């Protein structure tokens, strides 16, 4: 998506320098790779925290389903 598009725009423009005096190709430094990977890490950390504190399924609903299932299992065991 958006991050890959920006990555492609920046890296392809930096890969080949347009100055005739520059003979070297672009090689990302440790800082650039760390920043790139750090954005993924920050995103996934925030995403996992969001899922942890604001889950897609309400815990209350899950507890109701589990308690109903446990009651059914008890009835089956007592028969």
Can you say how many angstroms the Cα of residue 64 is from the centroid of all Cα atoms in its chain?
A: 31
Per-residue pLDDT of the chain (79 residues; tens, 9 = 90+): 788 888 888 877 777 777 777 777 778 899 989 998 999 999 999 999 998 888 777 777 777 777 777 777 777 777 6
Burial 9-47 (b: 16+ CB within 10 A, else e): eeeeeeeeeeeeeeeeeeeeeeeeeeeeeeeeeeeeeee
pLDDT, residue 50, reads 92
Global confidence as pTM: 0.49
């Amino acid at each position: 998506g958006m991050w890959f598009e920006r990555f492609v725009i920046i890296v392809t423009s930096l890969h080949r320098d347009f100055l005739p005096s520059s003979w070297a190709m672009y090689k990302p430094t440790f800082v650039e790779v760390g920043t790139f990977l750090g954005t993924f890490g920050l995103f996934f950390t925030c995403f996992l925290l969001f899922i942890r504190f604001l889950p897609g399924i309400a815990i209350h609903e899950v507890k109701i389903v589990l308690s109903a299932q446990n009651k059914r299992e008890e009835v089956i065991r007592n028969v």
